[in-house]
């Protein structure tokens, strides 16, 4: 079998039409010419390929690397259909420039079985600097540990942060006050492709629905040979409807049984795991602040992007509060925090976020418009007796101030803040 010319990851005009994403590009550039394989993962269409192209442009302009030493391949192209790992190795070996460092940019490598062995062999046999992307966390499986132990560094790529969203939007529209723009961000989400030009809400949901459909088909149904697709879709809809609520596989199974659909807990767990591995869902476990342990039951799930929910279920303003929570969760993850739901006695803290020696406690509420809400949100934080920062985040227009050491902030201000 012969394979043709490189399939370019992204053409130059597309690079120029998108916005630089320093949060990722600068971090990855710090590892150029180191022996580590750079692995970029994340949900489909979150911007991984574009980030690779931005790195390529920097190599050319800032380090004067000539085109002949830069090899790009996209392995979800039909050109590489049915390619074996041996063929992949031989194909890339032919592209390597003898006697000079070659930069390999390999997109969607999870399409090739045993790609890890190929990467390991190339890194051992040649003077190469390797960058790979993938849309399925099978990429981060035990095979990587086997073949690339200590030789790779992974970067999780997310859809646009609120700050990036404002930057993208400013290129084609007048950007209003961040507190007003937040309402649009919650409604429209942050898939980069939906913010390259002015699209209507319906057009954005159509684009995102296509991303969702291709992810479910390619990364879940096809890869795992799922036969009961309607069953999978019911689990998806339940999960999307319950963002920000604690639930278990049993509660999903019981719900489906009430609809006269029989499903066992193990099957539900399997579906949730597959949705996680396709990066559509993030699992957020509960952490017992008193017992200092992760609890195995009643987890929460958040979406890779809030627009996924609306593209599948339709827009519903009743879900605004849980979408806000979802957005705060993703922002904490973007900034490198490990995030759990906090359990403190009978009370629940929305997020306990830990990053090395830093820790944050966060409550997210749409409005603090009653004594009952105020009591619920603040008392839970007051009960935590340590000196780490505590926040109540809300969309109240004049949110601000400090109560018993707890900072009240508008969600928009928190998302744009550099203080954490």
* Percent of the chain whose pLDDT exceeds 70: 94
328, 410 contact by CB (below 8 A) = no
* pLDDT interval class at 15 (50, 70, 90): very low
Length of the chain: 420
Is the pLDDT at 276 greater than 90? The verdict is yes
Spell out the CATH class of 12-156: alpha beta
Question: Comparing 278-292, 350-364, 396-410, which segment has the lowest mean pLDDT?
Answer: 396-410
* pLDDT interval class at 1 (50, 70, 90): low
What residue segments make up the domains of the chain, in order of their start?
12-156, 162-416
* pLDDT interval class at 376 (50, 70, 90): confident
User: What is the distance of C-alpha 196 from the center of its chain?
Assistant: 19
72, 9 contact by CB (below 8 A) = yes
How high does pLDDT run on average in the chain? 92
Residue ranges of E strands in 194-317? 281-288, 293-303
* pLDDT interval class at 107 (50, 70, 90): very high
Please state, in angstroms and rounded to a whole number, the distance separating the CA atoms of residues 380 and 363.
9
CA-CA-CA-CA torsion sign (362, 363, 366, 367): negative
Structure tokens given for 310: 């609306």
| Per-residue model confidence as pLDDT tens digits over 126-179 | 999 999 998 887 676 666 778 888 899 999 999 999 999 999 999 999 999 999
* pLDDT interval class at 3 (50, 70, 90): low
3-class state of residue 277 by DSSP = helix
Is the pLDDT at 316 greater than 80? The verdict is yes
DSSP bridge partners of 72: 105
User: What pLDDT does residue 398 have?
Assistant: 82
User: What pLDDT does residue 201 have?
Assistant: 97
Question: Comparing 184-193, 221-230, 272-281, which segment has the lowest mean pLDDT?
Answer: 221-230
Please state, in angstroms and rounded to a whole number, the distance separating the CA atoms of residues 268 and 249.
6
Average pLDDT over residues 223-249: 93
DSSP letter, residue 229: H
Residue, of 145 and 276, whose pLDDT is higher: 276
User: What pLDDT does residue 142 have?
Assistant: 63
Alpha helix positions (H), 73-228? 85-95, 115-125, 142-148, 162-170, 178-188, 201-215, 223-224
Is the pLDDT at 197 greater than 50? The verdict is yes
User: What pLDDT does residue 16 have?
Assistant: 45
Structure tokens given for 265: 């807990």
In angstroms, the Cα distances linking 117 to 40, 146, 222 are: 18, 9, 23
pTM of the model: 0.93
Is the pLDDT at 253 greater than 80? The verdict is yes
The CA R_g of the chain, rounded to the nearest whole Å, is 23
Structure tokens given for 196: 């390259």
* pLDDT interval class at 242 (50, 70, 90): very high
Please state, in angstroms and rounded to a whole number, the distance separating the CA atoms of residues 263 and 236.
14
User: What pLDDT does residue 417 have?
Assistant: 98
Question: Comparing 294-298, 352-356, 362-366, which segment has the lowest mean pLDDT?
Answer: 294-298
């Amino acid at each position: 079998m012969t394979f043709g010319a490189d399939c370019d990851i992204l053409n130059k005009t597309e690079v120029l039409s998108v916005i630089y994403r320093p949060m990722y590009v600068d971090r990855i550039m710090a590892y150029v010419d180191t022996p580590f394989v750079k692995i970029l993962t994340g949900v489909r269409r979150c911007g991984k390929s574009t980030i690779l192209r931005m790195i390529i442009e920097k190599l050319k302009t800032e380090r004067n690397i000539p085109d002949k030493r830069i090899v790009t391949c996209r392995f979800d192209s039909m050109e590489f259909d049915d390619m074996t790992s041996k063929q992949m190795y031989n194909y890339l070996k032919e592209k390597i420039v003898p006697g000079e460092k070659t930069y390999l940019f390999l997109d969607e490598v999870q399409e090739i079985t045993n790609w890890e062995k190929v990467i390991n062999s190339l890194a051992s046999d040649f003077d190469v600097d390797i960058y790979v992307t993938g849309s399925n966390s099978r990429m981060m499986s035990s095979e990587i540990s086997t073949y690339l132990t200590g030789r790779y560094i992974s970067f999780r790529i997310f859809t646009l942060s609120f700050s990036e969203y404002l930057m993208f939007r400013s290129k084609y529209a007048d950007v209003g006050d961040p507190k007003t723009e937040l309402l649009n961000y919650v409604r429209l989400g942050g898939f980069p492709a939906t913010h390259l030009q002015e699209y209507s809400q319906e057009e954005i949901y159509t684009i995102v629905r296509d991303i969702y459909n291709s992810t479910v088909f390619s990364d879940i149904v096809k890869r795992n040979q799922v036969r009961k697709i309607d069953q999978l879709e019911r689990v998806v809809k339940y999960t999307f409807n319950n963002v920000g609520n604690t639930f278990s596989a049993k509660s999903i199974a019981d719900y489906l049984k009430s609809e006269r659909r029989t499903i066992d807990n193990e099957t539900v767990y399997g579906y949730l795991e597959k949705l996680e591995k396709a990066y559509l869902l993030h699992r957020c476990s509960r952490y017992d602040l008193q017992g200092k342990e992760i609890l195995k039951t009643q987890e929460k799930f958040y979406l890779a992007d809030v627009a996924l929910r609306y593209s599948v279920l339709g827009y519903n303003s009743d879900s605004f509060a849980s979408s806000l929570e979802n957005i705060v969760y993703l922002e904490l993850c973007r900034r490198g925090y490990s995030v759990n739901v906090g359990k403190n006695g009978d009370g629940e803290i929305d997020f306990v976020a830990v990053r090395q020696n830093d820790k944050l406690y966060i409550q997210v509420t749409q409005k603090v418009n009653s004594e009952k809400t105020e009591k619920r949100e603040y008392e839970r934080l007051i009960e935590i007796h340590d000196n780490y920062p505590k926040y109540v985040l809300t969309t109240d227009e004049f949110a601000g101030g400090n109560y018993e050491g707890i900072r009240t902030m508008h969600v928009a201000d928190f998302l744009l803040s550099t203080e954490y």
